[in-house]
Amino acid sequence: MAASSERSPPPFPDSEEPELLEDSDEGADAFTGTSISEMDSPSPDSTKPPKDIFNEPLEDIFSDPLSNVNSEPQKKVDTKIPSPSSDEAVDLFSDPLDDDSEVVSSPEVQNPMPDLLNEPVQAPKSDVLGEPPVHKNAARQQDIFEDPPKGSSKSSSVKKAASAELFSDEDEEDLFKELPKVVTKKPQPSGPPVDVFTEVKSDVKVKPQVKDDPTDLFAEEALTAPAPKPSASSSSSRTNGVHSEEHDLFSEATVELSLDSPRNDRKKKDAVKPSVSAPVAPVASSSSKAPSKTLEELEEEESEDTFDLNISVTNPEKVGDGMNAYMAYKVSTQTSLTMFRSKTFTVRRRFSDFLGLYEKLSEKHLQNGYIVPPPPEKSILGMTKVKVGKEDPSSAEFVERRRAALERYLQRVVSHPSLLQDPDVREFLEKEELPRAVSTQALSGAGFLKMLNKATDAVSKMTIKMNEQDVWFDEKIQDVENEEQHMRKLHVMVESLVNHRKELSGNTAVFAKSVAMLGSSEDNTALSRALSQLAEVEDRIEQLHQEQAANDFFTFSELLADYIRLLGAVKGCFDQRMKAWQRWQDAENMLQKKREVEAKLLWANKPDKLQQAKDEIAEWEAKVTQYEREFERISATVRKEVIRFDKEKARDFKRQIIKYLESLLNSQQQLIKYWEAFLPEAKAIA
């Protein structure tokens, strides 16, 4: 949480200071503005929550609040809760009766998801469910700026941070206690909202059990509005009550709060104790960052992170004999990052350690929608050759190929800002001895289980028919699919180039020998000499072809192989998102069923069982909320990851293509040299 204070700088850049003195009313306008735009474009609102919310509010809302903060603490709070409260508020106000009645009294609203997503009227619901991260962020920012008058926001936030890190319930309460203040500002101008909210409240009171969890959400923003103090406490107490049930929900929320820290650490190259927060880091940075950043900002951030971390994998060495033999590699790291204990360090790792690292990382991060770079595949055939210990060129090539692939793999892992923070990554780079990774063995029981899991995953993937609402994802998934196909084809072509070039190299060598023989048979001295010179030239050209074939392979073909694997990882992220969606839909369906049960019970007038049904509905409502949140979060993360991936890919390809063309250039230049040296020999034939 220490970071949370530092996290704020990006959204509140210094350059925005001039706006400090702007009217607070403008802030309010900004909200109505954003919300109107959201109302105008209902479908994007529902289908692309991250974009709308984060593009517009970010600038308007976040920049203005700052000014508010300094001038008037109260107001700042108000504006701070940007997107949720603004959307919520405006939506509610614009159509108070409709909204409220739907939100509170009619249960159907929550069932048919597609409707919710499509209809602007229901925006409040989806907004609330969809933006929790933002909401929390905002809330957290409140924390930070809570006592600005007392001193600099920074110092105060640092103090806060400590407590926030614990993520106690109080924190939650804090959060919600402040919300009331926030909202009060807005409702005041208009009369109806008050009614709305009171209505809500009364509704809630009527059916407190049923509404429990969802109201919790609404209560946080809406309920408290009219009567700040009392309702605030009521809402907070409610949240407390709910809390036990919804433990997951809030614990995740807290995770988000802590999430930021590692990221900022990295940026600032501060040594924090990421070990505490690192495991959850991905969730944090994704959910809180992605939403709050515009694309341009992401771009800036990308260019910023030219971090100083060089990893090389060298000295492949066979350890042991026979079938138990394995290859060990020297993994050397050179860095000025203070998160590491020293500037240079070297460890020895075997192939299964690399696989183990991947297993650990994907276990932790894949479910959050992170693109975890995949390591090179196991090759039983290649490794067996090495084990048998024949010093033939193909096994040497295999070892070199793998060494290079492992190096690229590690470089990709550490260039991922969040993965770099993972303690397992640091352990892998720094720690002398690693526990043996057992589950990576191709024929182990764990390996079998993994295969089984993959198979069931594949089946479930086929059975899930996701009705994609997000145009961006819809297109991107197709793009990635196409790109993978193209890359595969391209890879086949390049492989064929590698083979043909090797063939050419071999045939050139054979021809060189043959020409040398012809030269030795030639009875014209000058021609004989020229022919043996030609043989030498062809010999050098053979060498050139061989080197170029290696370049074809290592610079071009392996790049494609890497990206085919990486695109697979991207698809894995899409699958994770789809799974999250499925879970949410399942929960919706379950909730629907529970409601039907309740309706039946009501009709049958069985009050004894009614209570249980209501409890269950409450439980499932909470789950729906939670899963939807998770889905939104993973969507945001995947989206951000894919954007990052695309950028990285473009950069990577450009670099490699230039490198490859330079290798071609070099061989052509050599060629010129060789032939120019031969020309006088040919002319000397007489």
- Name the residues that contact other proteins, by CB under 8 A: 479, 482-483, 486-487, 489-490, 493-494, 496-497, 500-501, 503-504, 507-508, 510-511, 513-515, 517-518, 521-524, 526-527, 530-531, 534, 646-647, 649-650, 653-654, 657-658, 661-662, 664-665, 668-669, 671-672, 675-676, 678-679, 682-683, 685-686
Indicate the residue among 61 and 573 with the shorter CB distance to other proteins: 573
Separation between Cα atoms, residue 409 and residue 431, nearest integer Å? 19
Indicate the residue among 92 and 549 with the shorter CB distance to other proteins: 549
Shortest approach of other proteins to residue 643 CB, angstroms? 9
Indicate the residue among 284 and 494 with the shorter CB distance to other proteins: 494
CB 580, CB 631: distance < 8 Å: yes
Among 537, 501, 499, 506, residue whose Cα is nearest residue 519: 537
Shortest approach of other proteins to residue 483 CB, angstroms? 7
Token pair in block for residue 183: 């909202």
Shortest approach of other proteins to residue 373 CB, angstroms? 18
Shortest approach of other proteins to residue 521 CB, angstroms? 5
**How many Å separate Cα 403 from the centre of its chain?**
27
Which residue type does 310 have?
N
CB 5, CB 258: distance < 8 Å: no
Shortest approach of other proteins to residue 296 CB, angstroms? 14
Name the residue with tokens 């959910």. 287
List the strands of the sheet with 309-319, edge to edge. Answer: 309-319, 326-335, 344-350
Indicate the residue among 205 and 654 with the shorter CB distance to other proteins: 654
Separation between Cα atoms, residue 345 and residue 434, nearest integer Å? 15
- 561-586 burial, b at 16+ Cβ within 10 Å, e below that, comes to bbbbbbbebbbbbbbbbbbbbbbbbe
- 287-320 burial, b at 16+ Cβ within 10 Å, e below that, comes to bbbbbbbeeebbeebeeeeebebebbbeebeeee
Indicate the residue among 501 and 639 with the shorter CB distance to other proteins: 501
Q: Which residues contact 454 (CB under 8 A, 6 or more apart)?
A: none
For the chain, what percentages of helix, strand and coil (3-state, to nearest 5) are there? 80, 5, 15
Torsion sign (Cα): 620, 625, 629, 632: positive
8-state DSSP, 279: G
Token pair in block for residue 448: 């079998």
Shortest approach of other proteins to residue 308 CB, angstroms? 23
Shortest approach of other proteins to residue 685 CB, angstroms? 4
**How many Å separate Cα 147 from the centre of its chain?**
34
Indicate the residue among 392 and 503 with the shorter CB distance to other proteins: 503
Rounded to 10°, the helix 82-94/169-185 angle is 50
8-state DSSP, 323: G
Indicate the residue among 394 and 507 with the shorter CB distance to other proteins: 507
Shortest approach of other proteins to residue 543 CB, angstroms? 15
Indicate the residue among 434 and 682 with the shorter CB distance to other proteins: 682
Indicate the residue among 288 and 557 with the shorter CB distance to other proteins: 557
Indicate the residue among 108 and 299 with the shorter CB distance to other proteins: 299
Shortest approach of other proteins to residue 58 CB, angstroms? 23
> What burial class does residue 10 get, using C-beta atoms within 10 Å of its C-beta: 0-12 exposed, 13-18 middle, 19+ buried?
middle
Indicate the residue among 196 and 566 with the shorter CB distance to other proteins: 566
CB 416, CB 373: distance < 8 Å: yes
Separation between Cα atoms, residue 303 and residue 549, nearest integer Å? 34
Shortest approach of other proteins to residue 472 CB, angstroms? 12
Indicate the residue among 325 and 490 with the shorter CB distance to other proteins: 490
Separation between Cα atoms, residue 49 and residue 38, nearest integer Å? 10
Angstrom CA distances, 497 to 265, 393, 487, 549, stand at 46, 19, 15, 8
Quote the Cα angle for 350-353-357, to 5°: 150
Shortest approach of other proteins to residue 638 CB, angstroms? 16
Shortest approach of other proteins to residue 686 CB, angstroms? 7
Q: Which residues contact 294 (CB under 8 A, 6 or more apart)?
A: 54, 55, 58, 59
Indicate the residue among 319 and 517 with the shorter CB distance to other proteins: 517
Q: Do the bridges between strand 344-350 and strand 326-335 make them parallel or antiparallel, or are there none, so unpaired?
A: antiparallel
HSE on the CB side for 502, CA within 13 Å? 11
Indicate the residue among 159 and 502 with the shorter CB distance to other proteins: 502
> What burial class does residue 396 get, using C-beta atoms within 10 Å of its C-beta: 0-12 exposed, 13-18 middle, 19+ buried?
middle
Token pair in block for residue 315: 């000295």
Separation between Cα atoms, residue 323 and residue 452, nearest integer Å? 26
Indicate the residue among 139 and 642 with the shorter CB distance to other proteins: 642
Shortest approach of other proteins to residue 190 CB, angstroms? 44
> What burial class does residue 482 get, using C-beta atoms within 10 Å of its C-beta: 0-12 exposed, 13-18 middle, 19+ buried?
exposed
Shortest approach of other proteins to residue 529 CB, angstroms? 12
Indicate the residue among 21 and 686 with the shorter CB distance to other proteins: 686
Shortest approach of other proteins to residue 435 CB, angstroms? 40
Shortest approach of other proteins to residue 539 CB, angstroms? 13
Indicate the residue among 518 and 610 with the shorter CB distance to other proteins: 518
Shortest approach of other proteins to residue 301 CB, angstroms? 17
